Structure 1
Amino acid sequence: MDLALWISAGLLAAVALVGGISKTFVPKEKLAGAAGGRWTANASRGFIKTLGVLELLASVGLILPALVDIAPIMVPVTAVCWALLMVGAVSTHVRYRDGAKFVVATSAYLALAAFVAWGRFGPESFIA
């Protein structure tokens, strides 16, 4: 189970890193033209950049605290925060009718985050 939690956290960290980089560094107009990015046309640049920075922080928070054994409780806390972010992402993709592909993907990320949070708060906690 520990391996499954590490793999799940790693996958989520990779997704968060890619999303964070794109939202932080890609211009709003280019994001709005991308598949699944229509919502950015109605969002402020500051909001999009803030989401990007939060995703970059999540990519670090899902792996680094456990890896260096400094404040490993941050891993499940970050997973809970990521799950909340994904609830917003799912509702946004549904509202903008981006298609089942985006709703299913963000729902899968939500499920993985819930799994990591459950596993790291519970049976495979880093805190003994």
Structure 2
Amino acid sequence: MNIALWIAAGISAVLYLGAGGMKLATPRKKLLENPNMGWVEDFSDTSVKLIALAEVLGAIGLILPQALGIVPVLTPIAAVGLAIVALGAIVVHARRKEPKGVPVNVVLLVLTVFVAVGRFAG
């Protein structure tokens, strides 16, 4: 079970770190040019950057506390936070009628819930 939790956390962390890092490093105007980032229109620059920061910090929180054994309860808390981010993304994409954005976020939601439940139980 521990190996499955590490795999789920690792996959989630890589995806969230990449997505969040890209959003942090890219100006909002440039994000709007990407056809997969239409949702950015509905949010302020500050909101987009805060979502990106939550993704990056959550990705770090999925791995480091558990790996280092320093306050490991932060790992399932980070997983819950990222599950909330994924759930929010599903709602936004559904409301905007952007079905391409939903499946990836459903997978991220399942992975992060699995990590949260597994790490809280362990």
Q: Per the shorter chain, which TM-score range?
A: over 0.9
1 or 2, which has the higher helix percentage?
2
Distance 2:117 2:6 in 1: 13
Aligned-CA RMSD value: 1.0
Q: Structure 2 length as normaliser, TM-score? A: 0.95
Distance 2:104 2:59 in 1: 17
CA shift, 1:54, in A, is 0.9
CA shift, 1:29, in A, is 1.7
Q: In 2, are the aligned partners of 1:29 and 1:41 still within 8 Å (CA)?
A: no
Q: Structure 1 length as normaliser, TM-score? A: 0.91
Name which of structure 1's ranges 6-15 and 32-41 shifts more when overlaid on structure 2.
32-41
Which letter does structure 1 place at the counterpart of 2:46?
A: G
Unaligned residue ranges in structure 1 (runs of 5+): none
Deviations 1:1-23 (A, max 9, x none): 11010000001101110111111
Tell me the number of residue pairs that the alignment of Structure 1 and Structure 2 aligns: 122
- Identity between Structure 1 and Structure 2 (%): 36
Tell me what 2:109 maps to. 110
Unaligned residue ranges in structure 2 (runs of 5+): none
Q: Which runs of 4+ in 1 moved over 6 A?
A: none
Tell me what 1:95 maps to. 95
